């Protein structure tokens, strides 16, 4: 298992760099993860998505898709693409310390 | 860290949608949605029967027909439907409702909502000029997410360097 030192923590990551142990994540870590992928500042809107993803993961055991975030957290699709440009599903998962979503939609 | 390749994101995909049935319009949107979620520039070109999927008054009523569709089985079984039965009145509506229900259970949005979602993600939707004329459509007929009605040559220019999926 590969590890990566981010935010002062030796994180367990998969071959793509996504964290494999969600319990290693905490809210202090998110800004450091964001910086890794070019999101310099996490706004309240980012946090709304991140907190939804974390609580939804706890309840469902898997990472929510964009569709799920837009319908259940009430963040419009357009905004998700602005907050996490180009690859919103992967970027929001990464910052939230979760695997990328497995669902198709 | 994951390679998000923001700078190298020059991939482009064109999906040609030639069928307006529920299953194929769904297939187009699932692939399109996946593409655009990966940062791929996406153009969807609707032609022939695919135009039904962008005619505003029809797009909420797309159907799937069990006629001449031997691969269509009742989900979870090997039971298909003979053409004689499949052609009975109401069977297309029955099959369509069933598929809509199965898709909803998988959280796949209904067609219009799905189109809006992919549009909001930055996709471009185009209608084919020749078939639009042939089917006697007018600008008012089209869903407002369609950017323009374009010719085959326009599409060739648009799709330069793109990967193309024909549905």
pLDDT the model gives residue B5: 66
Give which of A12, A17, A67 to mutate to test B binding, by max B Cβ within 10 Å: A67
How many Å lie between the alpha carbon of A31 and the closest alpha carbon of chain B?
A: 14
CB contact under 8 A, B37 and A91: no
Strands B12-17 and B146-150: unpaired
The radius of gyration of chain A's CA atoms, rounded to the nearest angstrom, is 13
| CATH code of residue B158 | 3.40.1260.10
The answer to whether ipTM exceeds 0.85 is yes
The average confidence (pLDDT) of chain B is 93
- Does B100 reside within a domain? yes
Strands B124-128 and B146-150: parallel
In the DSSP assignment, the letter for residue A52 is H
Residues in chain B within 8 Å Cβ distance of A6: 1
Residues in chain B within 8 Å Cβ distance of A17: 1-3
Task: Give yes or no for B2 touching A (CB within 8 A).
Answer: yes
Nearest CB to B33 within list A16, A90, A105: A105
Nearest CB to B9 within list A66, A78, A86: A86
- Does B1 reside within a domain? no
- Is residue A9 very low, low, confident or very high in pLDDT (cuts 50, 70, 90)? confident
Nearest CB to A90 within list B4, B107, B121: B4
CB contact under 8 A, B1 and A94: yes
Ramachandran assignment for B48, one of left (phi > 0), alpha (psi -120 to 50 degrees), beta (any other): left
Position B55 pLDDT exceeds 80: yes
Position A30 pLDDT exceeds 80: yes
Position A31 pLDDT exceeds 80: yes
pLDDT digits over B16-40, tens only?
A: 999 999 999 999 999 999 999 999 9
Position B94 pLDDT exceeds 90: yes
- Is residue B126 very low, low, confident or very high in pLDDT (cuts 50, 70, 90)? very high
pLDDT the model gives residue B34: 95
Percentage of chain B lying above the pLDDT 90 cut: 85
Task: Determine the structural domain holding residue B44 and report its residue range.
Answer: 12-166
Task: Decide: helix, strand or coil at residue B128.
Answer: strand
Distance (Å, rounded) from C-alpha B139 to C-alpha A39?
41
- Both tokens of B35, joined, read 């593409």
pLDDT the model gives residue A104: 87
End-to-end CA separation in angstroms for chain A: 29
pLDDT the model gives residue A91: 95
Task: Decide: helix, strand or coil at residue B142.
Answer: strand
Task: Decide: helix, strand or coil at residue B149.
Answer: strand
- Does B85 reside within a domain? yes
pLDDT the model gives residue B9: 67
- Strands across the sheet containing B163-166: B146-150, B124-128, B41-46, B12-17, B163-166
Task: Decide: helix, strand or coil at residue A9.
Answer: strand
Annotated catalytic residues of A are 104
- Does B4 reside within a domain? no
The average confidence (pLDDT) of chain A is 93
Residues in chain B within 8 Å Cβ distance of A70: 117
Q: Work out how many domains chain B is built from and give that number.
A: 1
Task: Give yes or no for B164 touching A (CB within 8 A).
Answer: no
In this structure, are residues A96 and A84 in contact, taking their beta carbons and an 8 Å threshold?
no
In the DSSP assignment, the letter for residue B146 is E
Average confidence (pLDDT) over A23-38: 93
In this structure, are residues B46 and B143 in contact, taking their beta carbons and an 8 Å threshold?
no
């Amino acid at each position: 298992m590969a590890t990566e030192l981010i935010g002062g923590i030796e994180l367990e990551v998969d071959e793509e760099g996504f964290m494999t142990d969600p319990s290693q994540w905490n809210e202090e870590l998110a800004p450091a993860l964001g910086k890794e992928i070019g999101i310099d500042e996490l706004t309240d809107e980012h946090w709304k998505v991140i907190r939804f993803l974390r609580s939804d993961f706890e309840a469902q055991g898997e990472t929510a898709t964009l569709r799920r975030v837009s319908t259940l957290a009430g963040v419009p699709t357009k905004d998700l693409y602005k907050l996490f440009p180009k690859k919103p599903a992967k970027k929001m998962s990464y910052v939230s310390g979760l695997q990328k979503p497995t669902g198709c939609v | 860290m994951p390679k998000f390749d923001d700078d190298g994101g020059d991939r482009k995909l064109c999906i040609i949608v030639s069928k307006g049935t529920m299953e194929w319009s769904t297939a187009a949107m699932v692939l399109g949605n996946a593409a655009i979620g990966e940062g791929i520039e996406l153009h969807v070109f609707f032609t022939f029967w695919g135009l039904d999927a962008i005619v505003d008054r029809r797009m909420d009523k797309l159907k799937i027909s069990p006629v001449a569709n031997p691969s269509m089985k009742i989900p979870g079984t090997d039971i298909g439907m003979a053409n004689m039965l499949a052609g009975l009145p109401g069977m297309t509506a029955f099959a369509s409702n069933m598929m809509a229900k199965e898709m909803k259970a998988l959280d796949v949005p209904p067609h219009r909502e799905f189109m809006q979602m992919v549009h909001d993600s930055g996709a471009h939707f185009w209608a084919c000029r020749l078939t639009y004329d042939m089917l006697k459509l007018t600008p008012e007929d089209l869903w407002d997410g369609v950017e323009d009605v374009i010719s085959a040559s326009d599409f060739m220019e648009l799709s330069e360097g793109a990967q193309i999926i024909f549905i």
